[in-house]
């Protein structure tokens, strides 16, 4: 797989361990998902209708185990293929099969290409839908805050406009490049950690000091919060909890922008999951569980409910708990504390949306560089070194998804499920590619490269089946949500198959002429490399003279400065060069260009240029064969 990001002078390694891990941590976003998902977790029921809210914490533990199985697989592949560039797991998929089979490149119908495309399909379903879901959540959250201040609700149009503005603003941060995104992620992570620590500390203080004289706690003590209550409950809660842990793998798309990617990216994957999952989530959910009592109240069908039932009925149970803390512990500032926490949640939503946008556009850019997506999706911005056309498309898609999400809870949940389906498919496939990549290697480890990824495949398959099953057998809304999920995922699959079919046909039967102006002394090297890679059957070589941006002057001519930009004389010198022309199958163009650059590169002015032109037809005079058969 050709990924131009690794060789492009525009994309430079800037990130260290902190930068790579902070971007992934921002996507996991415990500061956002405690607020967003606690109501869903509190309202979760078994198929028989019994509540399973008591198993929230133990469900997260099980989900963490599953997440670590996948994270280890990602880290092993990132260590093996640090050159993955923007494409991340998509690159891993193809490379694993190419190395395993000994093939030099993918054929149109090869297993390696099918692995790459299936991984790309799942990655786009996950990363391109997720930001739109977060846009809808942000608009809804702002609507909630507005309602708390004014008692009024924003219209659907107003919520849609808020979502569009949020998508554009977040996209602009991503547009400014990885340095700005990383700084933003660091600030956001610090803010959400601070907010979670304060909330958790006050929640535990509330339980220990019981300022409201509570007599009926939902959990009898610390052990009751963390222990499994029913196997069914743990499994159901884990299917929800796994969704708040995704994102640890996002740093794999930053390898081209990370220093010492072979060492840094694998560690960043594991560190992000340890910090955000093992520490932040377990602490905040433990603290939340300890303070839920009969003082948390709500109304369902005209009846007052308390405790976990009230949390299940609330639009923002964490906001309600914050008001209890503020009013009883902090001398009546409940509303102010709730708004403050809500604002930090909004900030965390910015972080998770930003991180996912960064991942989504880079994966699209990597696939476009390999000609699996329209080439414009891979255009790299000259200043900010990001695939900006892909980002613009992503902003528009996110705005549309956000507009759908604010109109209907059922619609938003259905879209979210489609993204989750993509997540589990992507994770399961990546675990599979780990087994493939290492099975014939000398450094193969049975535990790391067989047992762990196999368990990861099984776990992700179980989660995928479970989440589909629970919605399919649910009530009318759940069935509609499942229907939306299948429509989105199935529609994307149909579009993908159609696009791949058309482009594969075109690339298999069309030709390109590649014309390179090179140093004369590089010719023999180039010919040998192309022959060794079995990329050409013929070549035309012409001695030429010409000049480029330096107008024939060597570096250092004149009074100094950048030789690409400054000239001190009107005299133009024609430099002897060699022109190499070859006609190849359209399918082979990325690989030919990659091999040519590697063979011709010296890093000095005058290495030359490569041009690709359409070759509409060809004929072998002796036989009369036409098109690719003549080549």
User: How confident is the model at residue 503, as a pLDDT?
Assistant: 83
369 contacts 5 by C-beta, under 8 angstroms: yes
Q: Which residues contact 314 (CB under 8 A, 6 or more apart)?
A: 39, 298, 320
The b-or-e profile of 588-599 (16+ CB within 10 A means b, else e) is bbbbbbbbbbeb
Q: Which residue has the tokens 């339980």?
A: 207
The one-character DSSP state at 554 is P
617: phi then psi, degrees, rounded to nearest 5: -165, 165
Residue 203 · residue 325 · CB < 8 Å: yes
Mean of pLDDT over the chain: 90
- Mean pLDDT for 212-241 is 92
Domain spans of the chain, in order of start: 17-501, 510-630
Answer whether residue 4 shows pLDDT above 60. Answer: no
pLDDT bracket for residue 562 (50, 70, 90) = very low
pLDDT of residue 554: 59
pLDDT at 9: 63
Q: Is the pLDDT of residue 405 over 80?
A: yes
- The mean pLDDT of 84-94, rounded to a whole number, is 93
Residues 440 and 126: their CA atoms lie apart, in Å, by 31
Helix, strand, coil percentages for the chain (3-state, nearest 5) = 65, 10, 25
Question: What is the rounded distance in angstroms from the CA atom of residue 175 to the CA atom of residue 388?
Answer: 7
Residues 6+ apart with CB under 8 A from 495: none
Q: pLDDT at residue 263 above 80? A: yes
Taking residues 110-124, report their average pLDDT: 94
The answer to whether the beta carbons of residues 483 and 468 sit under 8 Å apart is: no
What's the token pair of residue 284? 């905040």
pLDDT higher than 90, residue 403: yes
pLDDT over 60 at 351, yes or no: yes
pLDDT of residue 1: 58
The C-alpha torsion from 606 through 612 and 618 to 622, rounded to 10°, is 30
What's the rounded Cα separation, in Å, for the pair 311 and 319? Answer: 10
Looking at residue 204, its pLDDT comes to 97
Q: How far is CA 223 from CA 174, 228, 287, in A?
A: 43, 9, 12
Say yes or no to pLDDT of 588 above 90.
no
Tokens of 287: 């603290």
Contacts of 47 (CB under 8 A, 6+ apart): 470, 473
**pLDDT tens for each residue of 613-625:** 988 888 888 888 8
Instruction: Select the CATH number that applies to the domain covering 510-630 from these four: 3.30.413.10, 3.30.70.120, 3.30.470.20, 3.40.1190.10.
Output: 3.30.70.120
pLDDT number for residue 472: 78
Contact assessment for residue 600 and residue 591, using Cβ atoms and an 8 Å cutoff: no
Please state, in angstroms and rounded to a whole number, the distance separating the CA atoms of residues 185 and 331. Answer: 33
Percentage of the chain modeled with pLDDT above 70: 95
CATH of domain 17-501: 1.20.1740.10
Higher pLDDT, 283 or 475: 283
* Burial profile 455-487: b = 16 or more Cβ within 10 angstroms, e = fewer: bbbebbebbbebbbebbeeeeeebebbbebbbe
User: In the 3-class helix/strand/coil scheme, how is 472-531 assigned residue by residue?
Assistant: HCCCHHHHHHHHHHHHHHHHHHHHHHHHHHHHHHHHHHCEEEEEEEECHHHHHHHHHHHH
Q: Express each pLDDT in 471-527 by its tens digit.
A: 777 778 778 888 888 999 999 999 999 988 888 887 778 889 999 999 999 999 999
Residue 108 vs residue 230, higher pLDDT = 230
Distance CA 57, CA 200 (A): 14
| 387: phi then psi, degrees, rounded to nearest 5 | -75, 85
pLDDT surpasses 50 at 557: no
């Amino acid at each position: 797989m050709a990924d131009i990001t690794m060789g492009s002078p525009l994309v430079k390694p800037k990130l260290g361990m902190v930068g790579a891990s902070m971007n992934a941590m921002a996507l996991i976003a415990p500061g956002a998902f405690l607020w967003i998902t606690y109501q869903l977790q509190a309202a979760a029921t078994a198929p028989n209708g019994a509540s399973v809210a008591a198993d929230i914490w133990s469900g997260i533990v099980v989900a963490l185990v599953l997440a670590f199985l996948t994270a280890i697989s990602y880290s092993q592949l990132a260590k093996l293929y640090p050159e993955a560039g923007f494409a991340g797991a998509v690159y891993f998929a193809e490379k694993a099969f190419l190395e395993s089979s000994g093939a030099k490149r993918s054929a149109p119908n090869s297993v390696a290409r099918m692995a790459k495309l299936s991984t790309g399909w799942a990655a786009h379903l996950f990363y391109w839908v997720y930001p739109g879901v977060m846009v809808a959540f942000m608009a809804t959250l702002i609507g909630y805050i507005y309602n708390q201040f004014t008692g009024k609700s924003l219209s659907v149009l107003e919520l849609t406009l808020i979502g569009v503005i949020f998508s554009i603003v977040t996209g602009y941060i991503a547009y400014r490049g990885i340095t700005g995104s990383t700084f933003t992620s660091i600030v956001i992570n610090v803010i959400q950690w601070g907010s979670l620590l304060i909330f958790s500390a006050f929640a535990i203080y509330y339980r220990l000091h019981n300022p409201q004289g509570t007599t009926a706690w939902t959990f009898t003590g610390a052990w009751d919060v963390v222990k499994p209550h029913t196997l069914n409950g743990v499994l159901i809660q884990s299917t929800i909890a796994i969704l708040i842990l995704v994102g640890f793998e996002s740093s794999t798309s930053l390898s081209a922008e990370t220093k010492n990617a072979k060492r840094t990216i694998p560690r960043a994957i594991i560190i992000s999951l340890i910090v955000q999952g093992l520490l932040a989530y377990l602490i905040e959910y433990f603290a939340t569980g300890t303070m839920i009592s009969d003082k948390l109240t709500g109304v369902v069908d005209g009846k007052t409910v308390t405790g976990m039932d009230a949390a299940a009925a609330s639009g923002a149970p964490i906001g309600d708990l914050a008001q209890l803390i503020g009013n009883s512990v902090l001398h009546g500032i409940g509303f102010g504390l709730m708004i403050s926490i809500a604002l930090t949640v909004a900030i965390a939503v910015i972080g998770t949306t930003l991180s996912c946008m960064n991942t989504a556009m880079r994966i699209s850019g990597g696939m476009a560089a390999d000609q699996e997506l329209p080439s414009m999706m891979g255009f790299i911005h000259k200043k900010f070194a990001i695939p900006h056309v892909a980002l613009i498309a992503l902003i528009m898609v996110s705005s549309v998804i956000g507009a759908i999400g604010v109109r209907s809870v059922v619609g938003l949940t259905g879209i979210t499920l489609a993204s989750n389906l993509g997540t589990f498919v992507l994770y399961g496939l990546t675990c599979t590619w780990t087994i493939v990549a290492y099975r014939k290697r000398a450094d193969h480890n049975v535990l790391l490269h067989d047992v762990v990824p196999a368990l990861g495949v099984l776990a992700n398959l179980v989660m995928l089946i479970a989440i589909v099953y629970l919605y399919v057998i649910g009530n009318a809304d759940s069935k509609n949500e499942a229907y939306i999920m299948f429509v989105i995922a199935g529609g994307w699959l149909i579009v993908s198959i159609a696009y791949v079919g058309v482009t594969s046909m075109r690339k298999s039967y069309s030709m390109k002429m590649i014309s390179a102006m090179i140093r004369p002394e590089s010719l023999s090297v180039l010919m040998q490399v192309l022959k060794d890679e079995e990329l050409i059957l013929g070549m035309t070589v012409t001695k030429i003279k010409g000049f480029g941006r330096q107008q024939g002057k060597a570096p250092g001519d004149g009074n100094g400065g950048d030789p690409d930009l400054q000239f001190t004389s009107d005299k133009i010198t024609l430099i002897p060069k060699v022109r190499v022309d070859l006609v190849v199958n359209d399918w082979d163009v990325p690989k030919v260009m990659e091999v040519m650059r590697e063979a011709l590169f010296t890093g000095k002015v005058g290495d030359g240029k490569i041009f690709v032109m359409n070759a509409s037809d060809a004929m072998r005079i002796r036989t009369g064969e036409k098109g690719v058969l003549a080549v």
